[in-house]
C-alpha cells in the first residue's frame, strides 16, 4: 500500500513554553513521531522559546532527554540527531523585550509560521502583542492556544477579545486534544459516511447516550491549579461537551471547519439548563496508598469536585426526549473514556419475557483500546431453545485495515500537523467556547451560592452512590467502568 503520509509545507513552529511540561511530554515527542513518519519537510524549523537561558545545543540536549522519556522507543540515534538538528532555541521574556529581536531574526520567508502558546493564559495577550510589534506574525500566521480557555464566560470573552486584537478567528487554533483522537474522527465517518446509522440517530430510536471519562489518577502535582477549577471546568466544559456535540450535531453540509463548527455550536445552544436534581458532585476519599482529595490539594475545607455526573437534554426535534448522561472523575476504578449510544428495546419481543430485555448499543471507545463496537443481540449458540445474548461487533479499524495503515498518530501530532496545513475543523471556535461556558456557568454558580459540598466517594470505585441513583431513578444504568 502507498504511504498515506503527505508531507506538510515547510514551516517555522515557535513553541512558547518550550521547556515546560506540555512541550516535553506531548508537543515535541509528537513532532518527533511525525518526523519519523516522514511528514515533516527537510527544512522545517522548531524553535523553543522560554525563560531558561539555553543555547541551541543545550536545548537539544534537554529535549533529547524528553524524547527518550516520552517519545517512541528504539529509534536509531542518527534519526534522533537529525530531528534535533532542526531544533533551535531563544531565551525570551513574554512580558519584556528580551529575546524578541533574536526570534524575529530566526523566522524564514516563505515558511508557514505557527506559534504554540504553551504557557499560562495570563501571558497570551503579551505574546500576541509582541508577535505583532516585532513584525514576527504575518496575516496568515497561526497561533495555537491550550486549555484552560477561560475560567467562566466572562474570562473566556476577555481572552477571545485579547487575541482578537492581533489575530483573526481563522488564525486562532484552540486545542482540545480529544478532537484529535482517531476514534473521535471515526465517529464522524461512521455517522456521516454510512446510511445505516443516521436514520436511527434520533429520539425515536435512541433511548439515551452516556459519556464517561474516568481517570485512575488523582490531582497529583496539579493540586493547586485543580482546586481552583474542578471537574466541571477541567473536563465537562471542554472535552465532554465536544464529544456530546459530535454525537448530537446535525450532518454538516460539508466537512469543512465552519460547517462542522456551526453545527456543534447549535447543539450547545440547544442544551437545556441542568436541574440541581440531575447533578452529582463528588470528591475522592483516601486509599491505602494515596491521600484523599483534600489532603492532595492541601485544603481541608475544599468544596471543589473531582467527580461530576449529570443528566441533560437537547431541546430540538432530533433529540427531544433522549437524555444525555455525562460523568467524569478522578481516582476511579479504571482509566476509561467512552461514549455509549444506547438504542431502545424492540417494540415487542416475539421471544417472550424469558428472553429478557436487550438494547443495541454503539460504543465509541476513546481509551484505552480506541475503537468502535456495536452490541447486537443474537441467539446463544447451541441447543436448548431460543436464548438471547448480546455480543459486540468489533469495528476496530486498525485491525480491519491491516498493518499497512501504520501507527495511528496521537492526538497532539495530528492536531499540530492540521495547524500547519491550516485546517481548523478539529479546533474550537471562539463562539463555541463561549457558548459552552454560558451553559456551565449557572451550574458552577449554583454550587457556589448554595455552598454545595461534594459527596465523598471511594478511591478505586465508580463514583458516588448518588451518581448511580441518577440513572437508576430513570430505570437505566451506567456501563461498568473497566
Stretch that binds ligand NAD, among 59-67, 115-123, 268-276, 411-419 (CB under 6 A): 115-123
Contacts (CB under 6 A) with ligand NAD, residues 264-303: none
Only segment of 47-55, 64-72, 292-300, 314-322 that touches ligand NAD (CB under 6 A) = 47-55
Which residue stretch of 49-57, 72-80, 295-303, 439-447 sits at the interface with ligand NAD (rule: CB under 6 A)?
49-57
Residue 120 in the binding site for ligand NAD (CB under 6 A): yes
Distances (CA, A) of 407 to 36, 141, 306, 410, 421: 11, 30, 34, 9, 20
Tell me, residue by residue from 58 to 97, as one string, x for binding to ligand NAD by CB under 6 A and - for no binding: ----------------------------------xxxx--
**Count of residues engaged in binding ligand NAD, rule: CB under 6 A:** 22
Nearer to ligand NAD, 20 or 430 (CB): 20
Q: Which of 5, 10, 51, 262 binds ligand NAD (CB under 6 A)?
A: 51
Is 242 a binding residue for ligand NAD by CB under 6 A? The answer is no
Catalytic residue among 166, 239, 278, 313: 239
According to the binding rule CB under 6 A, does residue 306 interact with ligand NAD? no
Q: Give the x/- contact pattern for ligand NAD in 133-162, rule: CB under 6 A.
A: -------------xxx--------------
Whether 239 sits among the annotated catalytic residues: the reply is yes
Part of the chain binding ligand NAD (CB under 6 A), chosen from 44-52, 354-362, 371-379, 403-411:
44-52
Within residues 11-30, the interface with ligand NAD by CB under 6 A covers 17-23
* Catalytic positions: 239
Interface residues with ligand NAD (CB under 6 A) are 17-23, 50-52, 92-95, 118-121, 123, 146-148
Amino acid at each position: 500500500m502507498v504511504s498515506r503520509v503527505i508531507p506538510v509545507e515547510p514551516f517555522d513552529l515557535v513553541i512558547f513554553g518550550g521547556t515546560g511540561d506540555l512541550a516535553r511530554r506531548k508537543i515535541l515527542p509528537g513532532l518527533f513521531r511525525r518526523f519519523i513518519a516522514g511528514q515533516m519537510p527537510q527544512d522545517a524549523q522548531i524553535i523553543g522559546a522560554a525563560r531558561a537561558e539555553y543555547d541551541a545545543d543545550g536545548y537539544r540536549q534537554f529535549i533529547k532527554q524528553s524524547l527518550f522519556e516520552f517519545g517512541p522507543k528504539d529509534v536509531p540515534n542518527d534519526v534522533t540527531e537529525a530531528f534535533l538538528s532542526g531544533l533551535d532555541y531563544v531565551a525570551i521574556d513574554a512580558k519584556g523585550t528580551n529575546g524578541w529581536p533574536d526570534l524575529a531574526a530566526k523566522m524564514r520567508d516563505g515558511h508557514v509560521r505557527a506559534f504554540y502558546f504553551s504557557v499560562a493564559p495570563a501571558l497570551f495577550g503579551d505574546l500576541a502583542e509582541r508577535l505583532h510589534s516585532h513584525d514576527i506574525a504575518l496575516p496568515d500566521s497561526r497561533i495555537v492556544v491550550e486549555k484552560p480557555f477561560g475560567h467562566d464566560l466572562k474570562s473566556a470573552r476577555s481572552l477571545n477579545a485579547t487575541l482578537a486584537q492581533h489575530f483573526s478567528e481563522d488564525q486562532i487554533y484552540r486545542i482540545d486534544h480529544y478532537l484529535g483522537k482517531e476514534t473521535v474522527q471515526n465517529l464522524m465517518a461512521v455517522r456521516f459516511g454510512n446510511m445505516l446509522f443516521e436514520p436511527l440517530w434520533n429520539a425515536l430510536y435512541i433511548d439515551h447516550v452516556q459519556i464517561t471519562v474516568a481517570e485512575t489518577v488523582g490531582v497529583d502535582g496539579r493540586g493547586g491549579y485543580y482546586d481552583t477549577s474542578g471537574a466541571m471546568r477541567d473536563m465537562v466544559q471542554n472535552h465532554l461537551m465536544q464529544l456530546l456535540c459530535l454525537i448530537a450535531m446535525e450532518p454538516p453540509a460539508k466537512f469543512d471547519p465552519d460547517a462542522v463548527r456551526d453545527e456543534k455550536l447549535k447543539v450547545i445552544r440547544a442544551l437545556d439548563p441542568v436541574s440541581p436534581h440531575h447533578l452529582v458532585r463528588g470528591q475522592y476519599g483516601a486509599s491505602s496508598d494515596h491521600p484523599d482529595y483534600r489532603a492532595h490539594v492541601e485544603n481541608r475545607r475544599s468544596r471543589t469536585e473531582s467527580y461530576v455526573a449529570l443528566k441533560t437534554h437537547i431541546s430540538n426535534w432530533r433529540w427531544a426526549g433522549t437524555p444525555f448522561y455525562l460523568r467524569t472523575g478522578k481516582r476511579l476504578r479504571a482509566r476509561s473514556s467512552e461514549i455509549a449510544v444506547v438504542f431502545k428495546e424492540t417494540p415487542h419481543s416475539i421471544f417472550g419475557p424469558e428472553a429478557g430485555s436487550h438494547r443495541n448499543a454503539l460504543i465509541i471507545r476513546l481509551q484505552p483500546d480506541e475503537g468502535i463496537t456495536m452490541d447486537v443481540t443474537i441467539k446463544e449458540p447451541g441447543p436448548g431453545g431460543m436464548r438471547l445474548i448480546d455480543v459486540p461487533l468489533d469495528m476496530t479499524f486498525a485491525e480491519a485495515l491491516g498493518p499497512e495503515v501504520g501507527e495511528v498518530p496521537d492526538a497532539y501530532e495530528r492536531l499540530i500537523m492540521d495547524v500547519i496545513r491550516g485546517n481548523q475543523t478539529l479546533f474550537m471556535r471562539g463562539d463555541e467556547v463561549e457558548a459552552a461556558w454560558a451553559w456551565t456557568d449557572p451550574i458552577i454558580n449554583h454550587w457556589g451560592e448554595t455552598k454545595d459540598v461534594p459527596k465523598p466517594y471511594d478511591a478505586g470505585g465508580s463514583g458516588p452512590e448518588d451518581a448511580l441513583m441518577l440513572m437508576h431513578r430513570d430505570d437505566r444504568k451506567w456501563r461498568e467502568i473497566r
